[in-house]
Amino acid sequence: MAAGAAARKAAPVLEAPPQQEQLSHTKLSAEDTWNLQQERMYKMHRGHDSMHVEMILIFLCVLVIAQIVLVQWRQRHGRSYNLVTLLQMWVVPLYFTIKLYWWRFLSMWGMFSVITSYILFRATRKPLSGRTPRLVYKWFLLIYKLSYAFGVVGYLAIMFTMCGFNLFFKIKARDSMDFGIVSLFYGLYYGVMGRDFAEICSDYMASTIGFYSVSGLPTRSLSDNICAVCGQKIIVELDEEGLIENTYQLSCNHVFHEFCIRGWCIVGKKQTCPYCKEKVDLKRMISNPWERTHFLYGQILDWLRYLVAWQPVVIGIVQGINYSLGLE
Give the pLDDT confidence score for residue 20 in this predicted structure. 46
pLDDT digits (tens, 9 = 90+) for 279-303: 766 556 555 544 554 445 556 666 7
**Helix 103-123 with 78-100: angle, nearest 10 deg:** 150
In a domain, 230, yes or no: yes
Mean pLDDT of 306-327: 82
| 3 state SS of 325 | coil
Mean pLDDT of 221-246: 75
pLDDT digits (tens, 9 = 90+) for 134-158: 788 788 878 878 888 888 899 899 9
**Residues comprising the chain, all counted:** 328
In a domain, 235, yes or no: yes
Q: Does the structure show a pLDDT above 90 at 115? A: yes
The H-or-E segment that residue 56 falls in is: helix 49-76
- Tell me the β-bridge partners of 231: none
Average pLDDT over the chain, rounded to an integer:
76
Give the pLDDT confidence score for residue 116 in this predicted structure. 92
Give the pLDDT confidence score for residue 117 in this predicted structure. 92
Q: Does the structure show a pLDDT above 80 at 50? A: no
In a domain, 229, yes or no: yes
In a domain, 247, yes or no: yes
181: Cβ contacts below 8 Å, ≥ 6 apart: 154, 158
pLDDT digits (tens, 9 = 90+) for 13-25: 444 444 444 444 4
Nearest to 165 by CA among 151, 152, 150, 180: 180
In a domain, 142, yes or no: no
Give the pLDDT confidence score for residue 179 in this predicted structure. 92
In a domain, 153, yes or no: no
pLDDT band at 55 (very low <50, low <70, confident <90, very high): confident
> What is the extent of the structural domain holding 221?
214-287
State the Cα–Cα distance between residues 201 and 3, nearest whole angstrom: 97
pLDDT cut 90: percent of the chain above it: 7
In a domain, 52, yes or no: no
Domains identified in the chain, total number: 1
Q: Does the structure show a pLDDT above 50 at 256? A: yes
Per the CB < 8 A criterion, the answer to whether 201 and 136 are in contact is: yes
Instruction: Tell whether the torsion through CA atoms of 218, 223, 228 and 231 is positive or negative.
Output: negative
Nearest to 253 by CA among 211, 207, 222: 222
Give the pLDDT confidence score for residue 113 in this predicted structure. 92
State the Cα–Cα distance between residues 62 and 68, nearest whole angstrom: 10
C-alpha distances in Å from residue 48, one per residue of 37, 44, 315: 18, 9, 20
In a domain, 138, yes or no: no
Give the pLDDT confidence score for residue 129 in this predicted structure. 77
pLDDT band at 254 (very low <50, low <70, confident <90, very high): confident
> What DSSP character marks residue 28?
S
What CATH number does the domain containing 258 carry? 3.30.40.10
State the Cα–Cα distance between residues 90 and 84, nearest whole angstrom: 10
Q: With the CA atoms of 147, 153, 158 and 163 taken in that order, what torsion angle do they form, in degrees rounded to the nearest 10?
A: 160
Q: Does the structure show a pLDDT above 70 at 306? A: yes
Q: How far is CA 164 from the centre of its chain?
A: 29
State the Cα–Cα distance between residues 320 and 159, nearest whole angstrom: 39
State the Cα–Cα distance between residues 250 and 138, nearest whole angstrom: 21
- φ, ψ for residue 233 (rounded to 5)? -75, 145
pLDDT digits (tens, 9 = 90+) for 153-188: 998 999 988 888 888 888 888 888 999 999 988 888
The answer to which of 10-14, 55-59, 111-115 has the lowest mean pLDDT is 10-14
Q: Tell me the whole-structure pTM to 2 decimals.
A: 0.66
Q: Does the structure show a pLDDT above 70 at 242? A: no
pLDDT band at 128 (very low <50, low <70, confident <90, very high): confident
What's the start-to-end Cα distance of the chain, in Å? Answer: 59
- φ, ψ for residue 143 (rounded to 5)? -60, -40
State the Cα–Cα distance between residues 72 and 69, nearest whole angstrom: 5
